[in-house]
Amino acid sequence: MSSPPNDEMAPQPVGLVERLVRDDVDRKRFLKMAGGAGAASFGAFVLAACGSSSSKTASTAAAPATTASTASASSDSGDVAILNYALTLEYLETEFYGKVVSAGLFNGPVGALIKEFGQQEMTHVEAIKGAVEKLGGTPAAKPQGKFPIENASQVAMLAYTVENLGASAYLGQAGNISNPEVLASALAIHTVEARHAATLGTLVKKSITPDGAFAKPADMSTVLAAVKPFLA
């Protein structure tokens, strides 16, 4: 008599997050990127991601890397468009925080935190620009922003809104990114945006999880319409 099928022995589909948990090589690469200081380490990880195959097997071993020139042209162009969309948002966030710091509305620990957020957004800009270039694309032009900088309370609420929008924007594109390692990089930025939003929510006494147990993604048209008032 044949043995009954063993579900534990049957091949199971492996998602990106599960693969990062199971695969020591992938996990180390991801953690190195997420914990690295500055755009250089992040950009290096994205470069490696851009050079790897966009179709992985369910094996726990990492697939060998290839050059960017051998990657799918359609996948590259789609990922470049998404990266440039994210870059536009990061440009605006960087400019916003720069103007807030220049206005001198915050001091002490809060002022230092706002400045740190701005520096992190600037790091995102440099990292995404590098990723676009490594994929053979041209980084989006920097838009000219216009932000109402009136008083500390108004600015803090605007920052809370902007950071939540940024987190939703990244989440909204997660399913559209072709390369799983580029996706991991995008999620590494997404989680920082979400942490910024949560911190600011505490500052303005708003919910740190405004959508409840599950964050809601925002599509590109919704996000671009929301940021249009901030474009000069």
Per-position pLDDT tens, the chain of length 232? 544 444 444 443 444 444 434 455 544 444 444 344 333 333 333 333 333 333 333 333 333 333 333 334 555 679 999 999 999 999 999 999 999 999 999 999 999 999 999 999 999 999 999 989 988 899 999 999 999 999 999 999 999 999 999 999 999 999 999 987 678 889 999 999 999 999 999 999 999 999 999 999 999 999 999 999 999 8
Whether 23 is covered by a domain: the verdict is: yes
Whether 166 is covered by a domain: the verdict is: yes
Whether 58 is covered by a domain: the verdict is: no
List phi, psi (to 5°) of 202.
-65, -40
How far is CA 149 from each of CA 54, 98, 145, 156, rounded to the nearest angstrom?
43, 11, 12, 10
CATH number at residue 41: 1.20.1260.10
User: Rounded CA gap, 68 and 66, in Å?
Assistant: 7
Which one, of 77, 91, 89, lies nearest residue 136 by Cα?
77
Whether 1 is covered by a domain: the verdict is: no
Count of domains for the chain: 1
Which one, of 81, 159, 85, lies nearest residue 115 by Cα?
159
- Between helices 152-173 and 220-227, what is the axis angle to 10°? 160
User: Rounded CA gap, 201 and 6, in Å?
Assistant: 48
What pTM does this model have?
0.69
Whether 61 is covered by a domain: the verdict is: no
Range of the domain at 120: 16-53+66-230
Reading the block at residue 62, the tokens are: 């990492």
End-to-end CA distance of the chain: give it in Å, rounded: 76
Residue 185's pLDDT is: 83
User: Rounded CA gap, 216 and 181, in Å?
Assistant: 22
Whether 83 is covered by a domain: the verdict is: yes
Whether 131 is covered by a domain: the verdict is: yes
User: Rounded CA gap, 140 and 88, in Å?
Assistant: 7
Whether 199 is covered by a domain: the verdict is: yes
